[in-house]
Every structure is written in C-alpha cells, then in structure tokens.
A and B are shown apart, each in its own frame.
Chain A
Amino acid sequence: MSAAAPERPPGEPRLVGYLYLLPALVAFTAFVLVPLGRSVWLSLYEWDGVTPGTWAGLDNYGELVSEEALRAAFLHALVLLFFYALLPVAIGLLLAGLVARARVRGLALFRTVLFLPQVIALVVVAVMWRMIYDPGSGALNEVLRAVGLGSLAQSWLGDFDLALPAVGLVGTWVWFGLAMVLLVAGVQKIPESLYDAARVDGAGMVREFFAVTLPALRGEIAVALTLTTIAALRNFDLIYITTKGGPGDATSVPAFQVYDRAFQTGEVGSAAAIGIALTAIIFSFSFVINRTAERGYAL
C-alpha cells in the first residue's frame, strides 16, 4: 500500500510513468476536475449568474435537507430507481432465465426488437410517450377503451399520484432492453456442462436459475445495475419533456432542479450544490453495487 515501498520491479524508474499519463491527465483535469472543482466552489456561494455572488458557506447544502421541494425531488429519484434500474434488471433476468432453459428460435430478432428503445434518442422517446399518454386521443387510453376497459383510462401525466410511475414506466421500457441484452449474452457464455450437472442432480427450472444462472451472471448484473442506476438518478430529459416536473411538484427530480435553478430562476449556487450532492449519491450507489458484486454475496 505504501508508495515508498523499498523493492522495485526491474526496469525504468517509476516516475517516468507519470509522463506517459500526462496527456490524458491534462485532458481529464481540464474537462473533469476543473469543472468539478469550480462547481464545488460555486455551491458555496449565493449567485444569480451575473451580479457578484455572496459567500453562503454550506447553506446551499443545508437546503437540500431543509427545503421540502428538494427533499421531494431526491425522494422521486429513489422511486425512479425502482422503475429505471430494479424493474428492467428483473425483467432482463427473467428473460435470461428463459433463454438459458430453452434455445429460442429467432433469438437475434427478439434481441434486436427489444433493444430498439435503447437506440432511439431519449428526447424522441419522451415526445412519443407524451402522445401515447395523452388522455383524450393517446394510444394507451384508446386501446383501453377499445377493449372495454374505458374505466381504466386515466390522465396519466396529469394525475398527482400516477404521473411519477407513468414516467417511471417509460424508463423501464427504455432500459429493460439493455439489461436483457447484457444478461442474455451472459447466459450464453455459461458452460452447458453446469446446467447438465444441475439437471443430473435433479434441479428444476427454478432451482437451476438460482443455483447456476444467477451466480454466473453476477458481473453482468452489476454492469446493468450500475448503468441503469446512473440513468435513473441523473434522469432529466424524460421529465423535462413529458411533465416539466408537474403536476405541481409531483415529478420533480434533482437533475431537473439543477437545470431550473441554474438557468431559469438564477440560483446557481443552489444548483451547483444539488449537482454535487447528486454526483456523490451516484458515486456511492455505483461503488456499493460494484463492491457487492466483486465480493460475491448479497444478490
């Protein structure tokens, strides 16, 4: 662990290594570290973007806890975590389990079709779902009415309780394709012999899934969870286009608050503080996920 370890591998002295790192380090510093440092700095000020800012210390961070609108935003992000990360990975696992059991004909086709939402720009997805959710002439309500379930037709994005899950399901639709492709690919690399052995031991479908498929997919699950968790927590475009955080504050999320405060209401310091807090949260979530997967318990 200590950098001043006495024994050195043979060859050139170590310091030269940093020279090789330099180009990448310069770019990394200029485009990641400096902006990050600047954001931290701004988050300590009350600043409208134009006139001189005033020192605020940690007040902006205090507001994250004390201001109800911000607490709600972070809470909504956690709800979205279920729809963006847990649900897609669960669906992906289910499909992977099925594929592991039976060799499906035309698998490549299914994979492509189910992966399609990933390929469409999120802005397009959002505009499309806004149309689908339209209470008067949207596809969803039209279908419900056509099959005689008209009483279930809702004002999906306009209802205070339904709006967040409705946006969340769009996220599920977008992300389950990615989770599925990752996990199905993972399943295909599991040696057939493991399944044979399990079957010889008399394992049924469920047992086989938990004893063979799931442990073997640990790495893929970690990747899928990391990607979807990050997408869930920093989610902005879907919210911005479908509901703009409404109705009321029902779908407001941290990333939307960052945008709103920095560009609309002139609270740059507060926006920076939310951004930094969000970065810290995303970092710790992905850290925990990857650590858990490496060590191999939980799951």
Chain B
Amino acid sequence: MRVHIRGAAVGLMLAALVGCGSPGGDDNGAQQDEQADRSVEKPDVAAAGDVTLTVWDQEVRGGQAAQIKRLNQAFQEQYPNVTIKRVARSFEDLNKTLKLAVSGPKAPDVVQANQGRPVMGTLVKGGLLKPLDPYAEAFGWGDRYSDLLLDLNRFSSDGNTFGDGNLYGLSQMGEIVGVFYNKSKVSEPPATLEAFEASLKEAKDEGDIPIQFGNLDAWPGIHEYETVLGQTASKEQVRDFVFAREGATFDAPEFEQAAEKLQQWADDGYFTPDFNGTGYDPAWQRFAKGQGRYLIAGTWLVADLNKQMGEDVGFMLMPGAEEGADPVALGGESLPFAVTSKSENPDVAAAYIDFLTNSDAATVLAETDNLPAMPVEESAIPKGLPAEVFSEWSRLNESDGLIPYLDYTTPTFYDDISGAIQELLGGKSDPQQFTSGVEEAFRKFADEQR
C-alpha cells in the first residue's frame, strides 16, 4: 500500500514536470529597435473611439495620491471616450507583482516600472515595454527634462546597456537627497564641505547630535555615502559607474576617499549613537522634534518636516570642496510611467503619459506638495521649505548635477552596497576593503555582461 502511494506521488510529480519547457518568453530586441526608429504623428485621442486604459501605479501616499486622482479625472474629462482603470499598489507590492502582470495575457496598458536593471532592465530584456522615442519626438519631451532625467529611463533594446538607447518611460517628480538643517541651531548653512565638517565638530562639542542617522533598514547608508561621494568624485565618474560604462570601477581613490570620510564621521561620533541599530523613521522623527543639527535625506520628507518644524527647517545641497562650484547631489526621479508591448492602445497610452508630465501637470504637482521633475511656473511654487527645495532642484538641473542611485548598478547591487556600508560604518571593514569588496561584486556582473 505504502509503495503504491509513494509511486503515485512520484508519478504525479513527474507528470507535473512534463510539459514545462525552459521558463520565460521570447526575445525581440530587433523588433523594438524598429519601433523606436519609426516616427509618429501626435496621436489624436478624441478620435480613438471608446478606449479603456488600465494603469498600474504606486502613487498611493498623500500628495502623490492627490495629484494622480486630479490628473486622471482631468484626462477623462478632456477625452470622455477614454476610461482609466486604475490599479494602485504600494511601491513594494508593485515591484513584486509587476513582472508577472506585464508578462501575463491581460497586461495593463501603462505601468510604473522602477528605473534600473532589476525592474525596467528585465522588462526591456523580455520585450515587455514599448520604446517611446517616436512619441518623445512628436510631443517634444526632450525639452521637459535635463539629460540625466531622460537617460535614467533609457535602455538598449537588449536590456544590457543602461542609461543609453531607447526611451521607455517618463517620470513626474524629481527627488534630491540633500541636507536638511535645523535653522534654530545652524544660522548660516556652511558653504564648503570643510565648513560643514567644522559645524559637525561644533555640534558634537556642544553635546548635540551632528547628523541624525538610522541605518537599521540598510538603505539609508547608501544616501549618506553617495552624498559625500558627490563631493569627492566627479559626477561623470559616478554616472559611468552606475551605468556600467566601459572602464568604470568602484575601486578608485575618489570612492575610497568618500568611504574614509564617512567612516571618520562615524568614528568621531558625528552620527546618531548606535545608528546601525536605529530605524530610519525614528531617526528623522527625532530630527523633526528638534534633536540634532542635520539630516541627510530625500525630498520625500519635505511635507512631514515642513508640517512639524515649520520655519525651523532648511534644505541645502551638500556643499563641495570649493565655494560656489556647481552643485552635485544624489537624486533622481519618481518611477517612470511606461507603455507595455501588449497594450492595444499605445497611442492613447502615450498621450496619457504626456498628459501626466506636461506643464499643466507640473502645476498640479506643485499644488499637491510634490516636486515636479519638469520646470514649473513661478506662481505655482509654494512658500517655506518647499520653495527652498524647488530652487535647489532647478539649480541642480541647470548644471545637470544629479548623480543616480548606486543601487541601480546591477540587479544585486542594492544588497551588495547596503551591506558593505553597514560593515564600513560598523568598523568591520576599512575603506580599502570596502571599495575592493564592492568592486568584486560589481565585476561578477560586468564580466557576465561582456
């Protein structure tokens, strides 16, 4: 009896195996390049007949949710023949389910596909996204963004080259990782990196916490490191590395210098005590309550900090070695809206993306407490902290000074770099071991690519 049942179970398992080919779909890089090269007229949405556009986005929080609701409504009012079916998910849920959804038989028309190799790169590789270059031409998208902001949404059609090639999406909002400071303690924001460090020392000597920092979640360390890296390395050097261009390396003196400086700050007690065991949220909340002088964080905290600290909070970019030099800061843009290859109405989808990113949309974004990635009318800029952020954003884009997130570099780089930074700051590795260790992880990927 037992033998029978076991035999049957094995048989069934084998049956389950039969008929599985190798997993995954077909490659269609050449077809994509053809699509990217053709030219189109500006689509006429009103003439497209009754269209239902399924959109998967992650604009679920506060101002993000407010802006997408307003813009969706405005789009449907302008084109009554279009119905938008919105599927809203949190960022993490979206990332996890997107690949399956887009490769399935009932793929959505428009999706937010995160920049970089893990999500957008894989989808492009699988031929699941539509190149938008013809539409970019027709709508004049090139004038809306600084170069890096478009490059971040570019891939070669085989998905191997990041930051170059076809355009696969457009983002609505900009994002800078900068330095928030407590105005009641820092009267004049330091103008050079040296002055910034002097101010850290002063804070420490007075018994205050110089920089509020919580790294239990592992990713905030990337922001601290790259904010310093922007001052020790040139922006081209960082970009070349993130886009894995020819000759790029992490094991460079400039990258080591940044690691040295950061470790020095940790040793000198310039960060929150026990930062590796402190969560991100408790850290910035303490800053909001007036503890600590600086907070290196992204513009996603602007609304919260503005509400809690009012006139006591300021925002600046990390100053460079020389006063008045062009600023360099870590930053990027929100998840781009992309059109899937399976969409039956790519023209309407492209027009929808255009609608989400045109100058009217910029005004809506500003009015709903967001930082538009594209230029915005003076009158729409809110007062207080957001105004400082808006002006830093335009200063940064005028000189094209953004450097992209390091974790875009390879599919596993987020784990590689965040773990390595925890070890660096915890004193488990020295700067040299840090850069060579990270380089080793990068090489594994780069050698496979070539």
Q: Do A137 and B282 contact each other (CB < 8 Å), given the known contacts A41-B20, A53-B22, A155-B274?
A: yes
Within 8 A of A (CB), among B201-233: 215-218
Binary contact readout A146-173 vs B (1 if CB under 8 angstroms, 0 otherwise):
0000000011111110010000000000
Pairwise interchain contact B3-A3, C-beta atoms closer than 8 A:
yes
Chain B contacts of A41 at CB under 8 A?
A: 17, 20
A244 close to B278 (CB less than 8 A):
no
Separation of A268 and B22 alpha carbons in the complex (Å):
13
Select which of B103, B215, B274 is within 8 A of A50 by beta carbon: B103
- Cβ-based interface call for B450 (8 A): no
A55-B22, A133-B277 as given contacts; A3 in contact with B4, CB under 8 Å? yes
The listed residue (B4, B12, B100, B276) touching A159 by CB distance below 8 A is B276
Chain A residues within an 8 Å CB radius of B422: 246-248
Cβ of B125 under 8 Å from chain A: yes
Asked if A37 and B13 sit within 8 Å, CB to CB, the answer is yes
B278's contact among A47, A52, A134, A160, by CB below 8 Å, is which? A134
* Cβ A47 vs Cβ B415 within 8 A: no
Other-chain contact of A135, B23, B95, B277, B420 (Cβ < 8 Å): B277
Task: Annotate B1-30 by CB proximity to A: 1 below 8 A, 0 otherwise.
Answer: 111100011001110110010111111000
B382 in the interface (beta carbon within 8 A)? no
Q: Is B85 an interface residue (CB 8 A)?
A: no
Q: What is the CA–CA distance of A159 and B23 in the complex, to the nearest angstrom?
A: 41
Interface string of B382-408 (1 = CB under 8 A from A): 000000000000000000000000000
Chain A stretch 107-165: residues in CB contact (< 8 A) with chain B: 130, 133-137, 154-160, 163
Q: Mark B405-446, 1 if CB is under 8 A from A, else 0.
A: 000000110110011101100101000000000000000000
Partner of A37 from the list B16, B96, B216, B428 (CB cut-off 8 Å) is: B16
CB contact between B23 and one of A3, A53, A248, A266 (< 8 Å): that residue: A53
Flag whether B183 is at the interface (Cβ < 8 A): no
A126 to B161, CA, bound (A): 40
Q: Which residues of A contact B95 (CB under 8 A)?
A: 263
Check A136–B278 contact: CB distance below 8 A. Answer: yes
* B277 cross-chain contacts in A, Cβ below 8 A: 133-135, 154-159, 163, 247
Stretch at the interface among A28-36, A220-228, A286-294: A28-36
Inter-chain CA distance A247–B426, complex, in Å, is 9
Q: Is B128 an interface position by the 8 A CB rule?
A: yes
Interface size class of B (residues with CB under 8 A): 35 or more
In this complex, the interface size class of chain A, counting residues with CB under 8 Å from chain B, is 35 or more
- B123 CB to nearest A CB, Å: 6
> For chains A and B in complex, what number of residue pairs have CB atoms within 8 angstroms?
157
Q: Report A44-81 CB contacts with B as 1/0, cut-off 8 Å.
A: 01011111111100000000000000000000000000
Q: Would you call B375 an interface residue if the criterion is a C-beta within 8 Å of the partner chain's C-beta atoms?
A: no
Q: Are B23 and A160 in contact (CB under 8 A)?
A: no
A20-43 to B contact mask, C-beta < 8 Å, 1/0: 000001000100011011101110
Task: Verify A246–B418 contact, CB threshold 8 A.
Answer: yes
A265 and B282: CB pair below 8 A? no
| Of B25, B99, B217, B274, the contact of A52 (CB 8 Å cutoff) | B25
| Complex CA–CA separation, A260 to B95 (angstroms) | 12
Name the distance in Å between B440's Cβ and chain A's nearest Cβ.
12
- Are A38 and B16 neighbours in the complex by a CB distance under 8 Å? yes
A72–B20 Cα distance when bound, in Å, is: 33
Using CB atoms, name the residue of chain A closest to B7: A3
Answer yes or no: B126 CB below 8 A from chain A CBs.
yes
* Secondary structure call for the A interface: loop
B279 interface hit (Cβ, 8 Å): yes
Judged by a CB distance under 8 angstroms, whether A249 is at the interface is yes
Is B199's CB within 8 Å of the partner chain A? no
* Chain A residues, CB < 8 A from B27: 51-52
B62 within 8 A of A: no
Known: A54-B22, A157-B277. A264 touches B414 (CB 8 A): yes
Judge if B168 is at the interface, Cβ distance under 8 Å: no
Q: Does any Cβ of B come within 8 Å of A213's Cβ?
A: no
| B17→A40 contact, CB < 8 A | yes
- Chain A hits for B3, CB < 8 A: 1-3
B16 touches A34 (CB 8 A): yes
A243 within 8 Å of B (CB atoms): yes
Contacts of B126 on A, CB cut-off 8 Å? 50-51
How close is A228's CB to chain B, nearest CB, in angstroms? 27
Q: A50-B103, A130-B279, A135-B278 in contact; A243/B13 too (CB < 8 A)? A: no
As a 0/1 sequence over residues 254 to 272 of chain B, the CB contacts with chain A under 8 angstroms (1 = contact) are 0000000000000000001
A266 touches B118 (CB 8 A): yes
How far in angstroms is the closest Cβ of chain A from B88? 20
Contacts of B23 in A (CB 8 A): 42, 45, 47, 52-53, 268
B358 within 8 A of A: no
Task: Say if the beta carbon of B122 comes within 8 Å of chain A.
Answer: yes
Q: Which of B8, B26, B216, B274 contacts A243, CB < 8 Å?
A: B216
B253 within 8 Å of A (CB atoms): no
The answer to whether the Cβ of B56 comes within 8 Å of any Cβ in the partner chain is no
Q: A33-B12, A50-B123, A264-B414 are in contact. Are A158 and B419 (CB under 8 A)?
A: no
Contacts of B128 in A (CB 8 A): 50
Chain A residue at minimum C-beta to C-beta distance from B282: A134
**Min distance, Cβ B202 to any Cβ of chain A, angstroms:** 22
Of A45, A51, A135, A265, which is within 8 A of B125 by CB?
A: A51
- The 0/1 profile, CB within 8 Å of A marked 1, for residues 110-128 of chain B is 0000000010001101101
Closest 10 pairs between A and B when the two form their complex, measured CB to CB: A158-B277, A158-B276, A155-B277, A155-B274, A135-B274, A37-B16, A50-B126, A52-B24, A34-B16, A247-B422
The contact sample of 17 A-B pairs, CB cut-off 8 A, is A2-B3, A29-B12, A33-B12, A36-B16, A37-B13, A48-B125, A53-B24, A135-B277, A135-B278, A155-B276, A155-B277, A155-B278, A158-B215, A247-B218, A247-B426, A264-B118, A265-B412
